[in-house]
Amino acid sequence: MKKNTTSCPRVDIGGQAVMEGVMMKAPDAIAISVRRPDGVILTKRKTYVPLSKKHKWMGLPIIRGVVNFVTMLSMGMNVLQESTDMLGIMDEEPTKFEKWLSKKLGKGIDKIVMGTAIVLAVILSVGLFFVIPELVARGLKALIPNQNWLVNLLSGIVRILILIGYIAFCSTVPDVRRTFEYHGAEHKTVYCNENGLPLTPENAQQFTTLHPRCGTAFLLIVFVISIVLFTLVGYQGTNYFLRLGSRLLLLPVVAGISYEVLKGLAHSSGKLVEILRWPGMQMQRLTTKEPTDEMLEVAIVSMNVALHGLPEGCPKTADGYTIIRDYRVADPAFADVLAEEANAEQTAPEENNESPAEEAAAENATGSLKEKAEEAKEAVKAELSDAASADQQS
């Protein structure tokens, strides 16, 4: 298969599924692309400078994991908001309560909704993955005292089971399942780019939806590392609130170590590495689904825009989003091909463009030819008949 000269050099390209689309994150820019109900793809691109380049100490091992964790949380919420704006989901008329709340707080409806969603998400995460497991741990300590390692192991398993159950439940919601399909499109496109193949749906479809750098794998590693750290340095007493507080305080350290582990596993090979990767890869079967070709087109647009910039000559919406009608225009490798196709369409001779008079003349000419052909046939028949009569007389 022909290699793609426009695919990026060996750098980690990450991404995220958003509402009806995909965000791709290149080393110096992010691109968000969504497909609107009318079928067109809207895309936008924003450049950024990683914090590790602004502040060298933020790129140090462990610390960079914490920085990346916080950055991706913030960026993730922002791109979700961007995708809803691009789709026009928030365009409907706000309710009287929303207008009142917006007026009192001095913020737009979209910011209020997103802010509320963030607060609820944090409360839900802390409740599911810290409060409940620590309540379980409290009960276990009463049943099996002086067995801190076992209590932490069992409460960690409870966290993992809650995570699996929560994701499985979410996947039953149709809109969430579509987002998981776009998640699969993101992974397939990243694989396609990493293998240096032209970014087409046909090439991307051959790859798996399971990727070693996926955030789902990161979450599982976080939960496993937390079991070890909570056992080694966490508060092991019976005071519930001290136990909960110590776990929350250790979360940044857990995230930093987990990032290094994920990065190491993603860029290593060998049988042991495959064994260590396996649980995280299998978790992705819950958060990724097989995408359609149309979903892959959206992911491909995001990949190309993030790497190469916005395509020239495409129209824009009133909000400044670039309109993509053919996913290939975002790839510089196809620019010349599309230009040739456009020129061919413009210079191709048009069919059925004759005037009524010309059509009538053509029909008359055709009729005349038919009449002459019939006359010729009759003449040949007459000659054959005369020849046959002459033979009989002789």
- 176-185 in b/e form (b: 16+ CB < 10 A) is eebbbbbbbb
pLDDT at 394: 43
Looking at the chain, how many residues does it have?
394
Dist. CA 319–CA 141, nearest whole Å: 57
pLDDT at 345: 67
User: Smallest Cα–Cα separation from 317: which of 84, 54, 11, 86?
Assistant: 86
Task: Give the torsion sign (CA, 306, 309, 315, 316).
Answer: positive
∠ CA 61-251-71, rounded to 5°: 60
Judge if pTM exceeds 0.85: no
Task: Per residue of the chain (394 residues), give pLDDT as tens.
Answer: 444 444 444 567 889 999 999 999 998 999 999 999 999 999 999 998 888 888 889 989 999 999 988 888 888 888 988 898 898 865 555 566 656 666 666 666 566 666 677 788 888 888 888 899 999 998 998 888 888 889 999 999 999 999 999 999 999 999 999 999 999 999 999 999 999 999 999 999 999 999 999 989 998 999 999 999 998 888 888 888 998 999 999 999 999 999 999 989 988 889 999 999 999 999 999 999 999 999 999 999 999 999 999 998 899 999 899 999 999 999 988 766 666 766 676 666 555 555 555 555 545 544 554 555 555 556 545 554 554 454 444 4
Which pair of structure tokens corresponds to residue 208? 């798996």
Task: Please state, in angstroms and as integers, the Cα–Cα distance from residue 284 to each residue in 126, 137, 155, 210, following that order.
Answer: 22, 28, 22, 6
Q: Which residue has the tokens 């009318």?
A: 38
pLDDT at 256: 94
